[in-house]
Every structure is written in C-alpha cells, then in structure tokens.
Amino acid sequence: MTKRILLVGAGRSSFSLINYLISLLKENNWQLCIGDLDVGFLSEKFGSAENVQVISFDIFNQEQKTKEITKSDLVISMLPAKFHIHVAEVCADHGINMITASYVTDEIKALDEKFKAKGAICVMEMGLDPGLDHMSAMKVLDRIKDKGYKLHAFETFTGGLLAPSTEDNPWQYKFTWNPRNVVLAGQGIVKFIQEGRFKYIPYHKVFRRTEVIHIPGHGYFEGYANRDSLKYVDSYELQDIQTLYRGTLRRPGFCKAWDIFIQLGATDDSFKMERVDEMTHRQFINSFLYFNPHDSVELKLAHYLNIDMESEEMYKLKWLGLFDDELVGLKEGTPAQILEHILKKKWTPRKDEKDMIVMWHKFDFKEGDQAREIQSYMVVMGDNANDTAMAKTVGLPLGIGAKMILNGEFKLSGVQIPTKREIYKPVLKELEAMGFEFNEREIDLMETAKG
C-alpha cells in the first residue's frame, strides 16, 4: 500500500531532509508531496524526481490544508513555528501523524489526548536544538541513572556558527539559520538552576553572563543562557538536579560586542521607527544616542557604553559598516528589523563558505563518593551553501523519525519529544552510521582537584 508524506514549508534549509526522503521513496513505495507558497525553486530542484510532487500550498487556505493533510499518512511541518498549530489541529482531528523540529507549545500539548484517541503521534522538537540535544543528552543521562549514580549537574550548549575561515571577519560569525531568531535571541527572562538555587537573568544582562567552553581540537567558545531551562526538569526527569543550564555557543568576543546592540535598544521589536526609507546605517545608530552636534557618532557611542574607541567591540561594529552613510534599504521597520537588514549585508554566507554546528554537554555525577564528570561533544561541518551543517543536523533527525513513524516503529502516541529511548536510540544509531558521532571524555574530579 502506498503511503504519502506531506512536507509543508520547504525552504532551502530542507534540502538534506528532502534528499534523505527521496532516497527512501522507491524501495518503500512512498510518495512525497512538497508544499510551499513559493514553489519555483522547489519545482526546479525536485519536481522531476520519481514519486515526488511539488504544489503551491497556503496554510491559511482551509479547504486545501484539510484536503492535503487528510490524504497523507504523515505531515512534516517546516513552517515558521507559530504556524504549526494550524497543521496540528487538523492532524489531531483526523488522526494523521505529524513531526516537526520546533519547540512544543502549550497549544499543541493540549492536543495530546486527541492524538492518542486517534492512535496518532505528533513528535515535536525533532531537529538539532531542540532535538539532537535531547537525544544525545538522554543517552548519557539514562546511562548514569541505569548505573545508580547520583547526578549533580547537567549543562548543555549548542551553536550554529561559521566554519573556520581565512576571511577577515572579527565576529567569526554569519547567519546560518533564521536571522530574525538571532537578532531576537535572549529576549524574555532566562531561568535556570545553579547549585540548588533558582536563578534568573533579565534580557539586558544575558550577554554579559557567559561561560567559556573548550572543545578538543576546535578551540574555545563562549556560551550564553537560553530562555527557560526549568521546563526540562520534568522532560529529562531531573527533579533532584542541583544545576541545570541550557545555552547557546558563539566564538569568544561575540557576546560582549552583541551586548552593545541590546544596551542601545537596537534589538527592540515593539515599535516602528520613523522615515526608515531615508535612514542610513550611521543614522540608525545615532538615533539611539544623545544629541551633541560636536561629537561624532563613534565618540558618543563609546562614551555612552563606556568602551574604548580602539576596542575590539568598536572594530567589530566598524567592520559591519554600522557607521557608514549607506542607506539601510527598507521602507519601514522596527529597530530589530532594521538591524537584521543591515547585518544581512555582511553576515549572509557566500556560496563558497561553510557553516559548523557545535554541541557540548557536561554531566557531573557521583560514583559512590567519587565525583566524576562526562563531557560529550559533536562538531559537524557543512559541505556547501545547500548541504549546510545546520540543514543536515535539523533535517536528518526529522527524516529518520519520519521513516520510523511510517514503518510503525514507534509504539507511542500523543504529543511527544525525543527523550524516550524508543525514539532516541534508533535515531542516534542511524545518525552515527552517517558520521554524526559524539565524542566523550570522562574526568575524575577528585584527581583534577589534587592536580
């Protein structure tokens, strides 16, 4: 019997996922329907593939949405996160399996009983972060629990970065995923547990509270806290944990420079600025500074934020062209939208540039009275502008999960994330066979302290 996969929201970041699925179609007698608002490039790239159909798809066309979803056996949603609920509601009502890489929301959680009643599964957080972070962490956490050891602390960091390059880029960074998410990162209140204490970091302090992390063979990185680590206490079954901290990785020096935009107010997304069509990069920065016709924008910025005119931070801003008299190039926008547009001019990777994914976990536990630590890490390099490390590490877990759902290998139903062994073990096994392997090193903390 032929099974149908509906993939909606297939941008360029879906290439690894689509290619993986296409490799399975013929032998499994599956059909793949790819739906997106803009199908020109998708049709050119995949339209002639065997058992593949490319259609124009509008998530707000209720009749089309219901028709396409209900004649499918599985829906993979790569739409922007806020639109997943429109897919999930139809899937839950009609008992259609669903999988996506985005965070599970309270709205979708509320559909759990509907999915269960229909015997269908909705797997959320099945990408990189969230996704591979859960699976790789749970593999070690379950091993520690199985041996009866007492877990004290768990920290985890992931970063989508630019691969090492000879280009003179003082940020050592470009956009390798959704630029808007980068510009708005850290907004809201950060929550985590440290040595049994609940800790909170307001947005204006997030990029000032960083941790230095060393990855063997790849150098040093700095990590800043993600929004809410506390919600993973229950997901990871870590009710007695003393330290739980989730964060994002950047190259050293990034956070201190990025904090300038936050202190200025340049990442604010709550209001639209005036006369944006006439605004230059320099005027954008100047709009956040005090009025003084005698001081330069550079000097005012340095005084306002108490940084040296010859500092690394000022050099990074100059490299981005933020003091140039170049028109922004937008008709309107919020500060965050304008900043994103300016950054894209320098932070859009060239076709010959490669990206890199870095993931790092640290587990502190006691083996009897002996304090020990496991560090687990993975580094993935992109191949080119289409087969990026980000696309592979988001798309391939999704593809493997999709295959397992269609083959009936998951006995679970309802809304799930990949923290259960039934999900993460086979997915990690296949990824390892593809070369996505985590390295581990174990440290005796007592011996380290003696040294």
pLDDT number for residue 448 = 54
Which of 121, 360, 147 has its CA nearest to residue 248?
360
pLDDT number for residue 1 = 80
pLDDT number for residue 446 = 60
How many domains in the chain?
Answer: 1
pLDDT number for residue 38 = 82
- The model's pLDDT over 134-160, given as tens digits with 9 standing for 90+, comes to 999 999 999 999 999 999 999 999 999
pLDDT number for residue 194 = 93
- The model's pLDDT over 12-35, given as tens digits with 9 standing for 90+, comes to 678 899 999 999 999 999 999 999
User: What mean pLDDT comes out for the span 219-227?
Assistant: 93
pLDDT number for residue 442 = 87
Domain range enclosing 77: 3-127+389-422
pTM of the complete model: 0.89
Residue 365 belongs to a domain: no
Instruction: Decide if pLDDT at 213 tops 90.
Output: yes
Residue 205 belongs to a domain: no
pLDDT number for residue 313 = 95
Instruction: Decide if pLDDT at 166 tops 90.
Output: no
Instruction: Decide if pLDDT at 7 tops 80.
Output: yes
Residue 81 belongs to a domain: yes
pLDDT band with cut points at 50, 70 and 90 for residue 238: very high
pLDDT > 90 fraction of the chain, expressed in percent and rounded: 78
pLDDT band with cut points at 50, 70 and 90 for residue 176: confident
- The model's pLDDT over 313-335, given as tens digits with 9 standing for 90+, comes to 999 999 999 999 999 999 999 99
Residue 174 belongs to a domain: no
User: What mean pLDDT comes out for the span 270-293?
Assistant: 95
pLDDT band with cut points at 50, 70 and 90 for residue 451: very low
Residue 123 belongs to a domain: yes
Residue 211 belongs to a domain: no
- The model's pLDDT over 52-74, given as tens digits with 9 standing for 90+, comes to 898 888 999 999 999 999 999 99
Instruction: Decide if pLDDT at 352 tops 90.
Output: no
Instruction: Decide if pLDDT at 397 tops 70.
Output: yes
User: What mean pLDDT comes out for the span 213-223?
Assistant: 93
User: What mean pLDDT comes out for the span 183-198?
Assistant: 91
User: What mean pLDDT comes out for the span 367-393?
Assistant: 90
Residue 12 belongs to a domain: yes
Residue 31 belongs to a domain: yes
Instruction: Decide if pLDDT at 45 tops 90.
Output: no
Residue 57 maps to which CATH number?
3.40.50.720
pLDDT number for residue 287 = 95
pLDDT band with cut points at 50, 70 and 90 for residue 445: low
Instruction: Decide if pLDDT at 450 tops 60.
Output: no
